[in-house]
Amino acid sequence: MTAPNRAGQATEQPDGRRTRGVRPVWLGRAAFAVVFVAVWSSGFLVGSIGTRTVAPGTLGFWRFLTASAVLGVIAVAERGRWPRRPATWIHLIVTGVLLQTCQFVGVFVALIWGCPRESPR
């Protein structure tokens, strides 16, 4: 049997068989990307339905708590490297709050105030 190459991808035997127990790195990355996009884009659907009954801040809190749990499980399962410095964690948290939470809570507030749910044509 041959070992995985430097990219972590399985290499082939001389007879064309793949090594067992090794999966391509791109598969994990592709799965993570698909789940990330699905969770992120669901904010608009959740917002248009959820703001009928829940306050925007509450909706944002529960949405991001759920998304963090799902993506956290995937990240742990993929055994990715985590930041070691506390400053890096602070930067990641601030960036996440500014880029995601502020954006979607703003969208949820706009929906409550009567902004149309569909795009203008």
Element holding 12 (H helix, E strand): none
pTM, to two decimals: 0.53
Instruction: Evaluate whether 50 touches 108 at the Cβ level (below 8 Å).
Output: yes
Average pLDDT over residues 45-64: 81
Beta strands in 45-110 (DSSP E): none
Question: Residue 78 contacts by C-beta under 8 Å, 6 or more apart in sequence?
Answer: 28, 32
- Confirm whether 9 is domain-assigned: no
Contact call for residues 4 and 11 (beta carbons, < 8 A) = yes
Rounded mean pLDDT, 47-68: 82
All residues at 6 or more sequence positions from 31 whose CB lies less than 8 Å from its CB, including other chains: 74
Q: Is 100 a domain residue?
A: yes
Q: Is residue 14 situated within a structural domain?
A: no
Tens-place pLDDT, residues 19-49: 555 566 777 788 888 888 887 777 777 777 8
Inside any domain, residue 46: yes
Residue 17 within a domain: no
Who wins on pLDDT, 91 or 14? 91
- What confidence tens digit (pLDDT) does each residue in 63-106 have? 888 878 988 898 888 887 888 999 999 999 899 888 877 887 88
**Residue 19 DSSP label:** P
Give the residue ranges of DSSP H helices in 16-85.
25-50, 56-77
DSSP 116: -
Determine the structural domain holding residue 53 and report its residue range. 25-112
Number of domains in the chain: 1
